[in-house]
Amino acid sequence: MRVAELFAGVGGFRLGLETASPGFLTSFSSQWEPPGSAGKQFASRCYEAHFGSDGHFNEDIEKVLDRVDSGDLDLGRIDVLVGGFPCQDYSVAKPLNQSDGIAGKKGVLWWQIHRLLTLQGRSGHFPEWVFLENVDRLLKSPATQRGRDFAIMLASLSDLGYDVEWRVVNAADYGFPQRRRRVFIVGQRRKQPVVDGTRMVFRDGVLARAFPVLNDKVSESFEGPHIVLKGELSQITREFGVGVVQSTFLSAGFVSNRRVWTFGPKPAQPTERAVLDDVLVEEHLVPREFFVAEASLTKWKYLKGSKNEPRVHRSGGRYFYTEGALPFPDPADRPARTILTSEGGSAPSRSKHIVATSDGRYRRLLPLELERLNGFMDDWTDTGMTDNQRAFCMGNALVVGLVEKVARVIAKDSGLTLRRKNKRKVARRSMR
Ligand SMILES: C[S@@+](CC[C@H](N)C(=O)[O-])C[C@H]1O[C@@H](n2cnc3c(N)ncnc32)[C@H](O)[C@@H]1O
């Protein structure tokens, strides 16, 4: 199956797909860090270092698709479209003009995914599968109209002829050493409208098979859809979620023909558990600059600690700032917290991970340990980047093993050969 990987970063989707099956062949990939300066293209260079330059575009996706649209560039058939795209405002100012291929707001990257699907459809071959990843905030945004952006996304995919499933997955619930919560979205060309979305969410859907949940709903009597997404996208933009406190969209769901079922299923008990300690290297391998200097320890502890203190706003107003404590150091016997793009660098911070060493010191995580938390091979990003850039890439990336789980189900449904499961119970042990 020919794969297009958009917003490719350092290639988490491609790695996950290729680990699942040799039948996934990425024929087109796109990765470009705005505003486009050469110094910012480190993720793209990493991608090319691993996968080569064939079919890879280190260029704004909008410009690439302009060329496809004008007929100057032919991407050929695409069977699977994958990508982890930024969560932005998806509103549409005016009705979509499908025939012109004009999608919503300029610069909003969701519409480039929509556009590529539309362009492929125009050339006679819609991709069979769409497989996307995003922050779970997508289900709720924007704050002023809870769930509106996701409603627009679901309705527009539905209108293009896709049935769509989504699931918020915490990687730690499925045996990975990081508590990274992301929403996975899988669309497949609609064959006939599904009438029982409950079964899709709890048992039969791709995501239900990739990430088993406690299957307590399926035997209950049939439930009709919870909502139907009605009206033009511009109407959804204006009206969806107005005055609503909580998003309509729960952590899992299924959409067919704009009819939406949504539930909050619980993950089935994990058969495996991995923790931060599993990815740590031996202390003597840790370069000196990763240890926390004695002088900055107080600052680290303050930032990690709970706060309940008066502060003055820039405008001069006074307010009380409160936040809870984060564990300091991070417990090595639990899965790690989510890696953010700001994880790199020695400056004290609330969100960076800190682990204790056996001699009572503290240290930050190495890029290699961050790679392991996401399930990349050791030194995947050691392709000429600084340590900060490597950490940034891991903050942007996804847990490769989660992609692999979904890709296995897609591969099986599509009749592709599966690779043998490789228990990469990393790390530490192999270095010891
Ligand atoms: C969330 S990251 C995806 C990370 C990826 N899944 C991985 O495993 O590394 C989104 C990526 O989209 C890229 N991007 C942002 N705007 C873009 C554009 N206009 N064209 C192409 N890529 C873009 C960013 O540079 C970033 O690497």
Distance of CA 236 to CAs 216, 254, 384, Å? 32, 18, 46
CATH 3.40.50.150 maps onto the chain at 2-263
Q: What is the structure's pLDDT at 219?
A: 64
What is the position in ligand 1's atom list of the atom closest to the CA of 400?
A: 8
Q: What is the structure's pLDDT at 424?
A: 55
Segments in 316-383 forming alpha helices (H): 367-374
Closest CA to ligand 1's atom 10: 7
Closest CA to ligand 1's atom 26: 9
- CA 432 from chain centre, in angstroms, equals 32
Ligand 1 mean position, distance from CA 409 (Å) = 25
What is the position in ligand 1's atom list of the atom closest to the CA of 8?
A: 5
Ligand 1 mean position, distance from CA 212 (Å) = 29
Q: Is 46 designated active site?
A: no
pLDDT digits (tens, 9 = 90+) for 338-388: 999 999 999 999 999 999 999 999 999 999 999 999 999 999 999 999 999
Ligand 1 mean position, distance from CA 167 (Å) = 21
The list of the chain residues with pLDDT below 70 reads 93-107, 216-222, 423-432
Pocket test for ligand 1, best of 15, 29, 31 (most atoms within 8 A of CB): 31
What is the pTM assigned to this prediction?
0.93
Find, among 184, 131, 211, 172, the residue nearest to 374 by Cα. 172
Closest CA to ligand 1's atom 18: 60
Closest CA to ligand 1's atom 15: 33
> Which of 87, 213, 233, 406 is an active site residue?
87
Looking at domain 2-263, its CATH architecture is 3-Layer(aba) Sandwich (3.40)
Ligand 1 mean position, distance from CA 85 (Å) = 6
Ligand 1 mean position, distance from CA 158 (Å) = 24
Name every protein residue with a CB atom under 6 angstroms from any ligand 1 atom. 7-10, 12-13, 30-34, 43, 60-62, 84, 109, 396-398
Q: What is the structure's pLDDT at 102?
A: 41
Q: Which residues are within 8 A (CB) of 327 and not within 5 positions of it... i.e. 6 or more apart? A: 304
The CA distance from 115 to 117, in Å, is: 5
Distance of CA 352 to CAs 259, 318, 322, 365, 405, Å? 41, 29, 19, 8, 28
Contacts 24+ apart (CB under 8 A), 349-356: 349/300, 349/303, 350/303, 350/304, 350/326, 353/276, 354/292, 354/300, 354/304, 354/328, 354/329, 354/330, 355/276, 355/280, 355/329, 355/330, 356/329, 356/332
